[in-house]
Structure 1
Amino acid sequence: MDQRGRTPEVDWPARPDLSLALNRMGTFDWDLDGGRMHLDATALEVLDLRPDEFDGTPEGVRARVVPGEEARLDRRVRRALDDGRSHYGAYFRTHRADGGVAWTHIQGHILRDPHGRPYRVIGILRDAAQDPGEPGASGERDEGRRRMTGVVERTTAILAHARTVNDVTDVLKDPEALGHLGAVSVMLGVVDGPRVHLVAEGQLGSYVPEIEYTRIDARFPMSEAVRTLQPVYLSSREEFRQRYPLLWPYIEPLSVCSGVYLPLIAQGRPVGALGLLYSRDGDFTAEERNVLVALGSGIAQSLQRAILFEQEHDLAEGLQRAMLPRRIPEVPGARIAVRYRAARMGRDIGGDWYDVIPLGEGRVGVMIGDVEGHDTDAAAVMGQLRIVLRAYILEGHTPGTALARASAFLRDLATERFATCTYAEVDLNTGMLRLVRAGHLDPLVRRGDGSCHRLQVAGGLPLGLPERERAGTTGSGYPVTSMELHPGDTLLLCTDGLIERPGADPESGVRELMEAARTGPVDVEELADVLCDLVGDAGGGDDMALLLLRRRGSPGPRAGGPLRQRLAPGDPDGPAVARHLIRAAVAAWGARERADEIELAADELMTNALVHTDGGGEVTLRLTADGRIRIEVEDSSSALPRRREADDWAVSGRGLMLVDRLAEAWGVEARGSGKRVWCEFEVPPRTAEPGADH
């Protein structure tokens, strides 16, 4: 207007530059490649810059932008350039020459080459002070609200998958999780009896061990939040110093000007506290406080779940470890290594077990198994089953009978659980290995030459299955497979947690296991660590047990312990198994050339006991002090046998005659209510093999 209050005349229609100038809208032109920027006169006026104060670069504009706004504005522009957009807009605050602050709006149009690369931005700078209701400030508040709400939603979604306290702390220490709240440091404290335990501190790197534990009644903001169940807001450094003098020495050297400590409340009681520190001064708005309280509520629920989960896991894992053997006995002639690793899914516990049972006279039994389920009940059933199997084996039952009785025991428990198991009995003097399998994985053996093979073991049904599912089975249902474990061979027993991978074929896991065993170290402890590393710390969702037994070098002949085999009436497999064991033992003791004679003599003695007695018997093979192989067969009959000549048409009577012809000596000894028939064979002296592992 002029001095008389009249509006000055302008051309009709108004020129664009006049329209922009009257509405305090200036233009800019930014050369992205050259780094130049042009501001027209109105744009300089909007930024309150004199022409001689502007150096023609983007840095000249940034000098006017309020600190903190600059990074936000740069992010907005960079996102538009990187996302392929053609426009962007933003509100930001600028400093005036007189020290005041003004709201400014920027709008830019991005020019790109044919390849989509941005090379120039042409746009408008506008004074937003007269926007109705200060939309500039409103826009800033809206963006801040969206940012904080997004952080709460994103953090809550991530924490929904947290299973342990470490998982929760990892989320809080992630700059991408809570960093967008503007906090420069995040702290998490967990209530531990009368104290608050600081378990996590992120971003500033200012963790102070001296205040790792603070009493709930101490004069610290985190303790106060837990004690009063109310948030503690601190809007200035001076407030930190006055209200919490014990904490001030730790805050003073940091770039911290304000903070908030939120109680983490779950089911009406405090489980911890969350601390957020900021570099800005000023109080927290009502909206900010609401968002922070919502954030604290979500973290509290996750933290309580994690604490309860860890408590349950510790209880269950403690139960399982109590059910496993407390120590593995030393077994002469063998090296044994065992491993157990809990799952990292479900309740982190299951029914996997292992056991080592010294049987005396150079024999040892090893077993591994898995009770169905992943809970404390599975661990409890596992403990009972392991103990009863051990008892049956120590009572002298054959491997097949021991598993059959254990299966009946598990059915009688009425837990509706079943179990898989593999039991192996090794005579370390002869190398004879007897295996029985109940629905379990085939064992593996790594030979002394480094090759690795799967042992084909005849299998029965899992233990504990109802009788209706066992229909059609004969005998005990658990046949015994016999083979030889040579010096330097390593027997490998494991549960399926070692080979199963999520979404993968179990056979691929077996192949991976065999390759790792083939190329792994000879020492069983080192090899066990290598095999456990196949599943890593996270596991494949199942617990895992592993047992390795390596047979050391064969002892000298005079050190050979006895081999015993029970002969049960009506058991057609008993003599065959005994013959197999005898042949292997004879070969191991250096008398391979006499194996046929010794086996034939033993067979005659065993047949005599089974045919002429009702209670069966027991055959023993051992080395005497003078280096002879001695076969003994005991039975419950007091009638002593005698050698007699059989005519050409007789169907019996040749047994002892054959023994007399084949053996160097034989005899009969009365044994209480029964007798023992024995024979002996001379064995040529044998020198120890060079390089044998004793």
Structure 2
Amino acid sequence: MRTGEPLPAVGDVLTALATGIWHWDTAAELVTVNAEAARLLGLPAAETALTEAQARSRMHPVDWNEITGVVQLAVAEGTLAEVRIRIMDERGRVIRTVRSRSKPSYDAERRAFLLTGTLQEVTEPVPGTPAGRTAVTGDWRRSREAFLLDAGRALAEARSTAEVLRVAAGLSMPGFTPDGLAVFGVEGDRLTIIGHHGQQPGDEGPFSHMSLATDYPAAEVVRTGRAVYLSSPETYKTRYPVTWPLAQHFGRQSWAFLPLTVAGRTMGAWMAAFTYPVAFTPDERSVLTTVARMLAQALSRAGVAESERELTDGLQRSMLPHLGPEIPGMSIAARYVPTGGGLQVGGDWYDMIPLPGGRFALVIGDVQGHDVRAAGLMGQLRIALRAYASEGHRPDAVLSRASRFLHGMTYDDPDAADLRFATCLYVEVDPTTGVLDVARAGHPDPAVRMADSTVLIRRTDGGLPLGIDPDADYPTTRIALEPGETMLICTDGLIETGGHDIETGWKRIRTILETHDGDLESLADALVQAVHGPSSHHTTGPLADRREDDIAVLLLCREGEGCGCGDAVAVRPTVRRTMLSVAQAEPERVAVARQQLRELLHDWASPDQVDSAVLLLSETLTNVLVHTDADALLLAEVRGEPGDRRMRVEVTDTSDDLPHKRRPGELASSGRGLMLIELLADLWGVDPRGEGKSIWFELYETSVEPSAEPSVEVE
């Protein structure tokens, strides 16, 4: 360039340097790019405007999500936002990596971010290296801070253990995201698996209920409270030779085991596993440690919340009745979900009361309020109603007496902090004729679905809510329930939740009743799910947290065409197992292993088989300690239903010497181990494990006598 000549345009200079310009307005959801930026994005080289969705489709989803965090952090700090982005083609393949540098700003009036920056192609380094971290996340420290802010917010918002685990599985750490996670808890002297991600279902089996004394990284972390970093398979194999075979088949290259500590107490361990080598630099350890602390806090909060829900469930179960024995010719289903907040207890209730002559009464009610006092009044009122009904009073008399009872408790008590009343619907049922005598105290009317699915609101006479006027009358209305018809009674929480009034709420319920074609139990679920999502017979966690009012539902069906009965629920078989390592220097742990096996088989049908299993375990463990220089790892499990179960005991060691049968003399002190296994086990075998072997045997809890010659498998 000659002296005095004008400078070239900025755009021409940037184009010459293969640098594009892009502008992003989050309020307009519009991304504008010049010709060079369009080319870098894999588009025709011409200035163009893209929607956010179009721009997002050209970028790796992980990188697009990181852009938002980096931009927010740069605005907060008043610095440049730098990030590297992987550009994708139409088939989802990465075609290049570009670096963006920009100075974002925030428009408070429009509540939008404005960003103008550059795009320039760079070489994509290998993941896991220091350069690879920069390629994925831009500035390492800024991306780390943005990641930790997002991770902390997401974990703080998780409200259950399952939600915490889902958040942990979805964390995309800056530059070294693990592909396998596991969270271990502690029960007594054993590890448990709280949850895992990146493994197949069932892979957690060998690691669950592992003794804290086992030579396993997570057990060591819980014992010592110190993190364990294993940067290569060789490191893992050298430090933990006994349990290395358990981890080997997952094909990982690096592992981090960190303590989950709350208030100075180690409550478990967190494993992050990687398919590529990770050096675990100080920066990487800092990120992992911070995430582990946040994860521990989140799990602790979730555990407290779940304990409260369990307490709530127990309280509600103690107050709410079972529906009693089956009624010939009729089916009954009930649901109850309390309001969210606090201990999630409220004043709604239902009851089924046996009466003389084969009749019974259905009661549903709602005490004013959503607190412990309401729940206490509900329990006392329910008992009073049962007492009056059991004395043989008619529905009108039952409610009149209950009203006087509640009035005396609330209005005549000088220590009562507030005055309470209750709505109630009392239905006396004659199952033989289907006649229903209904008395109502300020409660919604019942609805009846006929055999052809037509739904009618059955208007009934009624009186004031219970507890307001001790002299109130409650007239009785008689309804006949025909075969195939279903009666619904509920509290107003089912009707009016979600902004509905009594009219629009009934329309919603009517639609469900008319269109549902399942049995009575599924209909009860459908009614509650339509309002707030999945339900159960009692409390349901996040569902209750969104409740505007308690919900109680009772369904009564007179069997016939149009009314189904619930199916039995299948019970899945359970698996119980124990695991323990026995070191060469700890032969006394053989006795511990024997005791653990006896405890595992405490309800086994045959005591002789239990004795045989303990004897064979003692032999296999002793053989490892006597005939090899290796430590032993015990895994014992029981599968199946009682009376038809399978017991499998497996002892693993790192020695390559395979056992062989011998013919010991009469006075020999050894050599009988395999002979005993062959005589006593239903099935046994020896499995080579690459480095080491596993000796196992099985016994079956069946009435069939084992064959004279047990099966042998050597793989």
- Which TM-score applies when normalising by structure 1? 0.56
- In 1, the alpha carbon distance for the partners of 2:479 and 2:451 equals 16
Measure, in 1, the Cα distance between the counterparts of 2:100 and 2:358.
89
Counterpart of 2:267 in structure 1 is: 271
What is the 5 A alignment of 1:214-363?
214-332=210-328, 334-343=329-338, 345-346=340-341, 347-361=343-357, 363=359
Asked if residue 440 in structure 1 is aligned to residue 436 in structure 2, the reply is no
Corresponding pairs, count:
462
Between the aligned partners of 1:529 and 1:380, the Cα distance in structure 2 is: 27
Q: Distance in 2 between matches of 1:143 and 1:232?
A: 27
* Equivalent-residue separation in structure 2 for 1:433 and 1:137 (angstroms): 73
**1:426: which partner in 2?**
429
Are the aligned partners of 2:230 and 2:236 in contact in 1 as well (CA < 8 Å)?
yes
1:181 and 1:136 map into 2 onto residues whose CA distance is 9
Contact 1:265 1:300 in 2 (8 A): yes
Give, in angstroms, the shift of residue 386 of structure 1: 1.7
Contact 2:84 2:100 in 1 (8 A): no
CA displacement at 1:327 relative to structure 2: 4.2
**Does 2:551 align with 1:544?**
yes
Alpha-carbon separation, structure 2, partners of 1:256 and 1:284: 15
Q: Specify the alignment match of 1:679 in structure 2.
A: none
Indicate whether 1:514 and 2:517 are aligned: no
Which residue number corresponds to residue 471 of structure 2? Answer: 475
1:196 maps onto 2:191 in alignment: yes
CA separation of 1:477/1:190 partners in 2, compared to 1, >3 Å: closer, same or farther? Answer: farther
Quote the residue 1:159 is aligned against: 155
Any residues of structure 2 matched to 1:375-386 within 5 Å, and which? 378-386=374-382
Alpha-carbon deviation of 1:167? 1.4
Cα deviations by residue, 1:218-256 (Å, 9 ceiling, x for unpaired): 222222222222222223322211222244224333443
In 2, are the aligned partners of 1:444 and 1:491 still within 8 Å (CA)? yes
Cα deviation per residue 1:281-336 (whole Å; 9 max; x = unaligned)?
A: 3543333333332222222221111112212212221232232223423334x413
The 3 A distance-change label for structure 1 pair 528 and 305 is: same
Residues 396 and 282 (structure 1 numbering): CA distance in 2 closer, same or farther, change over 3 Å? closer
Unpaired segments ≥5 residues, structure 2 = 9-15, 20-35, 45-58, 72-79, 86-96, 103-117, 124-129, 411-415, 535-542, 561-715
Change (3 A) 1:172 1:413: farther
Mapped contact 1:173–1:200 kept (Cα < 8 A): no
Instruction: Quote the Cα distance in structure 1 between the aligned partners of 2:388 and 2:406.
Output: 13
Mapping of residues 489-638 of structure 1, within 5 Å: 489-505=485-501, 507-521=503-517, 524-525=520-521, 527-535=523-531, 536-537=533-534, 538=543, 541=547, 542-551=549-558
Contact 2:84 2:134 in 1 (8 A): no
Measure, in 2, the Cα distance between the counterparts of 1:77 and 1:226. Answer: 34
Residues 90 and 165 of structure 1, relative CA distance in 2, 3 Å threshold:
closer
Q: 1:399–1:153: structure 2 CA closer, same or farther, 3 Å change rule?
A: same
Separation (CA, whole Å) in 1 of partners of 2:509 and 2:65: 53
Distance 1:148 1:212, change over 3 A: farther
Greater RCO, 1 or 2 (C-alpha within 8 Å, sep 6+): 2
Partner residue in 2 for 1:643: none
1:445 is displaced (CA, Å) by: 1.5
Read off the aligned partner of 2:524 and give its amino acid letter: A
Q: Which has the higher Rg, Structure 1 or Structure 2?
A: 1
CA contact (8 A) 1:189 1:273 kept: yes
Q: Which amino acid aligns with 1:420?
A: T
Unaligned runs of 5+ in 1: 1-9, 18-24, 38-70, 93-103, 110-120, 127-133, 465-469, 554-694
What does the per-residue CA deviation read over 1:165-194, in whole Å, with 9 as the maximum and x for residues that have no partner?
Answer: 1111121222x5558752222221222232
CA distance in structure 1 between the partners assigned to 2:17 and 2:209 by the alignment = 58
1:370-409 C-alpha deviation (Å, 9 max, x unpaired): 3445566654543332222011011122323322332343
* CA separation of 1:458 and 1:322: change in aligned 2, threshold 3 A: same
Offset of residue 423 of structure 1 = 0.5
> How many Å apart are 1:519 and its aligned residue?
3.3
Question: 2:425 aligns to what SS in structure 1?
Answer: strand
Instruction: Say if 1:31 and 1:397 are closer, same or farther in 2 by CA, change over 3 A.
Output: closer
User: 206, 209, 213: which is aligned to 2:205?
Assistant: 209
What one-letter code is carried by the residue in structure 1 that aligns with 2:506? V
Using the alignment, how far apart are the partners of 2:455 and 2:258 within structure 1? Answer: 59
1:234–1:373 CA distance, 2 compared to 1 (3 A): farther
Cα separation, partners in 2 of 1:161 and 1:343, compared to 1, 3 Å: farther
Alignment partners' CA distance in 2, 1:140 and 1:523: 54
Helix, strand or coil at the partner of 2:331: strand
- Percentage of pairs with the same residue: 36
Give the partner amino acid of 1:404. Answer: S
The C-alpha deviation readout for 1:540-581, integer Å capped at 9, x for no partner, is 51553322223468xxxxxxxxxxxxxxxxxxxxxxxxxxxx
Provide, for residues 507-547 of structure 1, a one-character-per-residue CA deviation record: whole Å limited to 9, x for no partner: 43321212222333485445434434434313651553322
CA 1:145–1:491: 2 relative to 1, 3 Å: same
How far apart, CA to CA, are the structure 1 residues paired with 2:508 and 2:406?
A: 33
Q: What is aligned with 1:557?
A: none
Deviation at 1:367, TM superposition (A): 0.9
Distance 1:543 1:173, change over 3 A: farther
Equivalent residue, structure 2, for 1:182: 177
Partner Cα separation in structure 2 for residue 271 and residue 78 of structure 1: 32
Are 1:401 and 1:476, in contact at CA under 8 Å, matched by a contact in 2?
A: no
